[in-house]
Amino acid sequence: MRFIILSLTLLLAAPVAQAQEPSAIPDVIGQQLEAFEADDFARAFTFASPMIKGYFRTPENFGAMVQEGYPMVHRPGSVTFGTQRSEGGSIYQSVTIRDAEGRYHALEYEMIPDGAGGWLIDGVSFVPAPDVSA
């Protein structure tokens, strides 16, 4: 009987463990980018952490901030996912976005577990370009 209970527990826990794998992070970011492209700020807001939701309070406020401060996220030309790093309880995902004018922007998404086996976006930062002067 113990074996059956243990087996069921492991089987039920497996999908949660798989869903919280860092490999799922690009999909979460991609879904939010798709929502922004469709001007579906309510859907885009669902990928934000409680801290982000508390700060902006409404999907409309959140969407306005993205349109003003992150136009390349609102209307990306192309998106490339780079490396991930772990720090504290967060995973940081590097993302390069090419905007409509052909300029490249290096961003870093801070991702946190959502408590249900997935991921939420807890912040996006610009990564400064390296100094290439001689």
Chain-wide mean pLDDT for the chain?
A: 87
Q: What ranges do the domains of the chain cover?
A: 22-126
121 and 29 Cβ atoms separated by less than 8 Å: yes
What is the per-residue pLDDT across 58-99, written as a single tens digit (0 to 9) for each?
999 999 999 999 999 999 999 999 999 999 989 999 999 999
Q: How much is the pTM? A: 0.81
23 exposure class (CB count in 10 Å sphere: 0-12, 13-18, 19+): exposed
Confidence of residue 21 (pLDDT cuts 50, 70, 90): confident
For 22-126, which CATH class? Answer: alpha beta
